[in-house]
């Protein structure tokens, strides 16, 4: 039934492999062994999946490796469909809403020493920036890590985040540093801005 929905048995097996192993990469012959399909069929489907954007490829040691693209727009609902059900976090296939972002925002506001927090990337619809959470201030790394781990569990995917001391952030903002400019110029949501620094620029 699901084979008919997704086009081919090989594609379904590939989706199952990749979506149950986020962060892991596989080379072609390894994939053919794991899913027990012909190499030509595997290569064809990998090419299709690369074109769509559900997987990415990278070369190392003269081999081409493939892994799931956790920033793919439909990653979360697809993972919910293909999940084995024994993952640490049960994936809930829901479209990102302002309510869930607001929930994360409430948790972020409780971090002491925080002066600025911006959401972008996968947490803001229509944002294409590679950073999902920017935290600025005198923040304990363990606090930031714990917070991001909670968001990752809720989202069912990796979250890219950056923590900067305030002085470094303000300097980089003043010289229009590319990293900062890309976040602010793209779609984003300001969660905390104690010094009203974003509105000034």
Q: Are 160 and 69 in contact (CB under 8 A)?
A: no
Q: Tell me if 148 sits within 8 A of 111, measured CB to CB.
A: no
Q: Does domain 98-193 have CATH number 3.50.40?
A: no
Cα 69 → chain centroid: 8
Whether 2-82 shares its CATH topology with 98-193 is answered: no
| Number of other CB atoms surrounding residue 78 within 10 Å | 19
Phi and psi at residue 134, to the nearest 5°: -115, 125
CA distances to 6, 71, 77, 79 from 54, rounded to whole Å, are 13, 8, 12, 11
Every domain of the chain and the residues it spans = 2-82, 98-193
pLDDT in tens, the chain (201 residues): 455 556 788 999 999 999 988 889 999 999 999 999 999 999 999 999 999 999 999 988 888 999 999 888 888 888 888 877 654 444 444 444 556 677 888 888 888 899 999 999 988 888 888 999 999 999 988 989 999 998 888 888 889 999 999 999 999 999 999 999 999 999 999 999 998 988 644
pLDDT value of residue 162:
95
Number of H helices, E strands in the chain: 9, 7
For domain 2-82, which CATH number applies: 2.60.40.420, 1.25.40.20, 3.40.50.10680, 1.10.10.10?
1.10.10.10
Distances from the Cα of 191 to the Cα of 105, 120, 133, 184, angstroms: 6, 11, 10, 13
Question: Within 13 Å of residue 34, how many CA atoms lie on the same side as its CB?
Answer: 17
Q: List residues bridging with 58 in a β-sheet.
A: 65
Can you tell me the distance from the alpha carbon of 188 to that of 120, in angstroms, rounded to the nearest whole number? Answer: 4
Token pair 């997704």 is found at: 6
Would you call 153 helix, strand, or coil by DSSP? helix
Residue count (the chain)? 201
pLDDT for position 99:
60
| The pLDDT value given to residue 92 | 46
């Amino acid at each position: 039934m699901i084979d008919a929905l997704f086009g081919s048995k090989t594609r379904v097996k590939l989706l199952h492999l990749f979506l149950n192993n986020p962060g892991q990469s596989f080379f072609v012959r390894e994939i053919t062994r794991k899913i027990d399909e012909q190499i030509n069929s595997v290569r064809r489907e990998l090419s299709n999946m690369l074109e769509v954007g559900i997987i990415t490829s990278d070369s190392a040691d003269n081999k081409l490796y493939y892994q799931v693209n956790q920033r793919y727009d439909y990653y979360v609902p697809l993972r919910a469909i293909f999940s084995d059900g024994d993952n640490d976090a049960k994936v809930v296939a829901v479209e990102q809403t302002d309510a869930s972002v607001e929930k994360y925002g409430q948790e972020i506001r409780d971090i002491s020493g925080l002066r600025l927090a911006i959401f972008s990337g996968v947490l803001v619809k229509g944002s294409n920036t590679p950073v999902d959470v920017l935290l600025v201030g005198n923040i304990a790394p363990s606090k930031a890590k714990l917070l991001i781990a909670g968001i990752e569990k809720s989202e069912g995917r990796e979250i890219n985040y950056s923590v900067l001391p305030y002085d470094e952030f303000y300097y980089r903002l003043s010289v229009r540093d590319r990293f900062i400019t890309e976040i602010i110029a793209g779609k984003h949501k300001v969660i905390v801005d104690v010094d009203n620094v974003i509105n000034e620029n």
